Structures are given as structure tokens and as C-alpha cells.
Amino acid sequence: MAGIPTFATPPSFLGLRRPASEAIFHIAGIPLDIGTTNRSGARFGPAAIRQASRMLVDGDHPHWWIDPAALPVADIGDFDIALGDIANSLARIEAQAAAAPHLIALGGEHTISLPLLRARAAGNGGPLALVHFDAHVDTWPDNFGQVYAHGSVFFHAIEEGLIDPKRSVQIGIRSPVQKDVYDWTLGKGVTIITAQDVHELGPHKVAQRVIDVVGDAPAYLSFDIDCLDPAFAPGTGTPEIGGLASWQAQAILRRLDNVQLTGMDIVEVAPAYDTAEITALAAATVVWEYLALVGRRMA
């Protein structure tokens, strides 16, 4: 070990101090949580994830053998949002995201994925493939009368043509859901790999299924931390039992080296319900894994 000790690491993600002008990968916090339907508090997620990322600064990634912090990556701070106004916040997030060459967003609730996908799809010139880790399908047409909220993200993403549902895969699904919502999702062509499927098939087969579905299309990764079982991620707003273990999610991600990932978000970390930072650390590690995955050829 060299340099400063982990406890003295600056409060940015991985202690990064690189200016945005020198970076390809931009990390931004999006502290929005006014569209949550159960426990609020994900607005504090970005700060908690950055704090927990101190545990990841002591060396190289032990699979890809690169130091993600040495990549051209910058923590650009938090995006501006409109207090108490979902529609205005989504518009602001989309505009700010459009300026980032390759954005990694720290949520915040899952609603942030919609403006991020709007910006990414516009930059891509068409719909993206989607790799979505979650306990919930998030394809409800509305949430208790609210059109835009964290459970309707991918309903709108499909309806707006931001993602190609036939090249979209959801991993870890297991929550209660109305059958018509589930059937609508499948009917659009989305591949659903339930949490039980993951447990029975194992990470290798799940990753291969993801690769088969996504193919060579530019893809977006959206990782809701409640994909993990509450034993591994209690600090979230809508926990569901029977979820993935941290090692399962990590093992799947490490096998996606042939997927053309163009951006990501990690959402729904609510530190008020966390225990010993384990949820925040899991989220920070997912980002660290993503950086290693997309940046390995640049090292």
C-alpha cells in the first residue's frame, strides 16, 4: 500500500481529483427521491456510495488487473435537480447527462434512469439494449397516479423507443406484480431472468443469456441495489427477500466483457436503512466493477 490511508481519502468517488476535461468517464450523483413508493432516502445515496468507495482504493482489480481510478474518469459532482418537481428534474437531468461522453450515475431513485436513457438514446441515434438488475420489473404504467416515478421507468423507456425490448434483459426479478404488467413486459419482448433462475442456473449461464439477448448492440446498464437480497443490501427503499448475493451479481458483471456498455446507473441506495455501510459498499463495488469492465482495454 502507498499514499494516504483509506480513511483519509477525499470524499469524491475513489478519491478522484481529475478534472472533467481530462476524463472520458464522468461520475455524477443524482440525489432525487421524490418518486419513491415506499421508504424514501435515496437522495443520500450518492454521498454514501462515494464514502464507501474508499474501500476500493488500495490496489488493482483482481480479475482485470487494472486500477479503475487510473482510468480517464472524473467525479463531476452532483447534478442539479428541481426541488419537489419530478418533470422539471427529469428535464434538467437529461440536459446535464447529454454533455457527458460516458456517464456513470449514482442515484437517487430509479426514476433517474428515464432521463439518462433519453440522453443516451439521443446520443446513440436510436434505441439501446438494456441490462437491468432489479427485484422489480419497473414497467408499471404509473405509480399510484403518478405518471413518472421509480416503478414506471422502463414502461416509459419502451413506449418512448429509448430501449429495444427484444434486446433488453432484466435480472433478479422477484417482487409481487400484477400479471397483466408482467405479461405486458414479456409481450414487448423483454427477457426476464428471475432471482430463482439466477440461483438455479448460476452466474455463467445467466451472463451467457445476457450476451445472447443483447448481442452487439450498444447497451445501457441499470443496477437497482434491491436486486441484491436484503441480507446483502438492507439499505434500500423497497427490499424483497430471495434476491441475489453480492458475489452472484459481481460474477455476472465480470462475464459481460463482450457487451458494448455505453453508460450505467446505480440506484435506490438509502443509507438510513443500511447496516455497517454494506449496501453502499455493494453499490460502490458495482461501479468499480463497471469501470474495470469498460476500461480494461485502455489500461
Residue 146: what pLDDT? Answer: 83
As to burial, measured by CB atoms within 10 angstroms (0-12 exposed, 13-18 middle, 19+ buried), residue 254 is: middle
As for how many domains the chain has, the answer is: 1
Whether 260 is in a domain gets the answer yes
Q: What is the band of 285 on the pLDDT scale with cuts at 50, 70, 90?
A: very high
Task: Report the SS3 class of residue 262.
Answer: strand
List pLDDT tens digits, range 232-257. Answer: 999 999 999 999 999 999 999 999 99
With a cut of 60, say whether residue 93 has pLDDT above it: yes
The span from the CA of 45 to the CA of 186, in Å, is 31
**Does the pLDDT at position 2 exceed 60?**
no
pLDDT in tens, 113-172: 999 999 999 999 999 999 999 999 999 998 788 889 888 999 999 999 999 999 999 999
Element containing residue 264 per DSSP (H, E): strand 260-267
Query: Measuring CA to CA, how many Å separate 136 from each of 15, 110, 203, 243?
Result: 32, 11, 19, 11
**Residue 103 domain flag:** yes
Q: What is the pLDDT of residue 11?
A: 86
pLDDT in tens, 166-206: 999 999 999 999 999 999 999 999 999 999 999 999 999 99
Confidence of residue 299 (pLDDT cuts 50, 70, 90): low
pLDDT of residue 104 exceeding 90, the answer is yes
Residue 3 clears pLDDT 80, i.e. is over it:
no
Measured CA to CA, the distance from residue 75 to residue 25 in angstroms comes to 9
- DSSP letter (8 states) at residue 183: H
Reply yes or no on whether the pLDDT at 80 is more than 90: yes
Cell 457527458 appears where?
Answer: 100
Mean pLDDT of 22-28: 97
Q: pLDDT > 90: what percent of the chain?
A: 90
Q: 3-state DSSP call for residue 106?
A: strand
Task: Check residue 227 and give its pLDDT.
Answer: 98
Peptide bond into 108 cis (omega under 30): yes
Domain contains 1: no
* Residue that is written with C-alpha cell 434483459 in the block: 169
Distance CA 21, CA 35 (A): 33
Asked if residue 288 belongs to a domain, the reply is yes
Contact (Cβ atoms closer than 8 angstroms) between residue 274 and residue 226: no
Q: Is residue 245 situated within a structural domain?
A: yes
- Residue numbers of the domain that contains 36: 6-295
Does the residue 220 lie in any domain?
A: yes
pLDDT at 147: 84
Query: CB within 8 A of 36, min separation 6: which ones?
Result: 42, 109, 149, 150, 237, 238
Q: Please give the single-letter amino acid code of residue 82.
A: A
Predicted local confidence at residue 253, as pLDDT: 98
Q: Kindly provide the b/e burial profile for residues 151-168, where b requires at least 16 CB atoms within 10 angstroms of the residue's own CB.
A: bbbbbbbbeeebbbbebb
pLDDT band of 20, cuts 50, 70, 90:
very high
Q: How far apart are CA 37 and CA 109, in angstroms?
A: 10
What radius of gyration do the chain's Cα atoms show?
17
27-67: pLDDT as tens digits: 999 999 998 889 999 999 999 999 999 999 989 999 999 99
How far apart CA 168 and CA 127 sit, in angstroms, is 11
Residue 272 falls inside a structural domain: yes
- The domain spanning residue 249 has which CATH number? 3.40.800.10
